[in-house]
Copies of this chain bind each other. A is one copy, B any other.
Amino acid sequence: MRIYDLSLTVSPSMPVWPGDPAITLGRVAKIEEGAAANVSRMELGVHTGTHVDAPFHFIRDGSTVESLSLKILIGRAYVVHLNDDIGLIMPEHLERARIPPRTRRVLIRTRNSKQWTKDYRTFDKEYVGIDVSAADYLVKRGVKLVGVDYLSVAPFKDATPTHISLLKAGVVIVEGLNLSQVPKGRYNFFCLPLKLDKSDGAPARAVLMGV
């Protein structure tokens, strides 16, 4: 069975959200210098690369990432493809995508995914995000997990309303997915974020498998 790896490779050269901590990744012990083993160390913001947002990211007394339910992070998902000319995702775009009834997890592929097929290194403020009205639409449909293919679910210039709409409703947000290789349709989705104590988010590995 084919496994689609949706995860971005974490490296110091990948783009990060402006103002977020820089990424450091390097060895602190090296076999060639006489150590018994190679041992690396990492330093990064928890919203780096492929990652999840917990309610506490935008909600003062929201729950934190170690308490997100694995029953939401794992299960059937529907992958939607949106046209490359869409710059801001509105409810009508999602309507037209014909998401099947009772879909609980939606992964949205946009032109953003093309960035991950090349060696992009700079943060792109013109990425495609979800308007708050479309976030409200997904909540109203009973969606419990939304995955997007850039580093934020919301448009760059107006990040707060979309996040609040989803997080307040208990929707798990997965950001930084590489959906470039994935045909639209139904899959089994596995998103496993690090279990970071009392954190507002966590880096994750995310895969899709056939149903």
- Chain A residues engaging chain B, CB cutoff 8 angstroms: 3, 5, 7-11, 19-21, 25, 27-29, 31-32, 36-47, 49-50, 56-58, 60, 66, 70-71, 74, 159-160, 163, 190, 192-201, 203-207, 209
A74, B198: Cα distance in complex, Å:
28
**In the complex, which residue of chain B has the Cβ closest to the Cβ of A32?**
B60
A201, B40: Cα distance in complex, Å:
7
A29, B40: Cα distance in complex, Å:
26
A99, B209: Cα distance in complex, Å:
27
A31, B56: Cα distance in complex, Å:
9
Contacts of A71 in B (CB 8 A): 3
A-B contact pairs, 22 of them (CB 8 A): A7-B194, A9-B196, A10-B194, A10-B195, A11-B198, A25-B199, A36-B58, A37-B58, A38-B56, A38-B58, A39-B200, A40-B199, A40-B201, A49-B195, A50-B195, A70-B207, A74-B190, A74-B207, A192-B192, A192-B204, A194-B194, A204-B205
